Amino acid sequence: MNHHRKPRTHSVFTQRAVRVGLFAAGAAGLATAVPAQAATGLPQHTAVAADQTFSRADFHHHTQAKDSFTVRQFGNVDAASVRNQANAVGVGCSVDDHCRSVALSFQIVTMAGEHTHLNAVNRGDAVNEHCDGCQTLAGAYQFVVSTPHPFTLDAETRRRLADIHQRLDALTRSTLPATDLKTRADALAAEVNTVLHDAVAKAPQGAEQPTVTLHRHLDGWPAH
């Protein structure tokens, strides 16, 4: 069986430390954002959200490309559990009849609090099964904005993010090679990072400084 799974790599654009506790969770299930009251056993002011993009290319559908761009503003919380995942799969194609599968997921989460406990998971997984010569690319970008006091993204910030979202859609639909897609996706993520830093510069100040942290996970085949 021709089954390829690239080793996972991680990098973070923003190296500033955040005051919330970050750790990875192994939960497999995904759900949309729910109120804390709907999640049994969670603290009173807990925010829960999960976003996933999945793409599968095979001999029936040779090209599949999907992306998501979500913004979740939680306000003041004691704890938050957020998950972002991109999965791309190529199955049953060949060098002469190759497949292309692309999945990109951008998740932006804002929250406020002096001692917020955060469980953040961000994963990108690309898999080829019996798919010689196929291209698969999975990119997960998770942006966590933490401020001491609640604030909302203003109209100008939302406009700038919407413009990036449109360009992400166009990039996903393009026929660029996987290596170029990675570079362009990273560039869009860097733009989001800048927009969010500009936004928190106008947020109410407190004992702790507002922070923006980006988690980036790209996986793809072939590697070159």
Report pLDDT digits (tens) over 167-197. 999 999 999 988 899 999 999 999 999 999 9
Cα torsion for 182, 187, 193, 194, to the nearest 10°? 180
Q: How far apart are CA 178 and CA 196, in angstroms?
A: 27
Q: Is residue 147 part of a domain?
A: yes
Q: Is residue 32 part of a domain?
A: no
The confidence score (pLDDT) of residue 206 equals 84
Higher pLDDT, 221 or 40: 221
The confidence score (pLDDT) of residue 80 equals 94
* pLDDT reading at 200 higher than 70: yes
Q: Is residue 36 part of a domain?
A: no
Please give the tally of structural domains in the chain. Answer: 1
Q: Is residue 136 part of a domain?
A: yes
Q: What is the pLDDT of residues 93-123, one digit of tens each?
A: 877 778 899 999 999 999 999 888 999 999 9
Which neighbouring-strand residues pair with 135? 100
Q: What is the pLDDT of residues 31-85, one digit of tens each?
A: 333 443 344 454 468 899 999 999 999 888 889 999 999 999 999 999 999 999 9
Mark residue 221 as left, alpha or beta (left: phi above 0; alpha: psi -120 to 50; beta: remaining): beta
The confidence score (pLDDT) of residue 94 equals 79
Are 94 and 128 a contacting pair, CB within 8 Å? no
Task: Work out the average pLDDT over 142-167.
Answer: 96
Domain span holding position 88: 3-27+46-221
The confidence score (pLDDT) of residue 129 equals 87
Residue type for position 30: L
Higher pLDDT, 222 or 3: 222
Q: Is residue 109 part of a domain?
A: yes
The confidence score (pLDDT) of residue 44 equals 60
Are 60 and 99 a contacting pair, CB within 8 Å? no
Q: Is residue 107 part of a domain?
A: yes
Q: Is residue 205 part of a domain?
A: yes
The confidence score (pLDDT) of residue 215 equals 98
Q: Is residue 38 part of a domain?
A: no
Are 73 and 157 a contacting pair, CB within 8 Å? no
Q: How far apart are CA 76 and CA 74, in angstroms?
A: 7
**What is the band of 223 on the pLDDT scale with cuts at 50, 70, 90?**
low
What percentage of the chain has pLDDT greater than the value 70? 79
Residue type for position 125: D
Where does 134-177 have alpha helices with state H?
Answer: 155-173
The confidence score (pLDDT) of residue 130 equals 83
Higher pLDDT, 141 or 91: 141
* pLDDT reading at 6 higher than 60: no
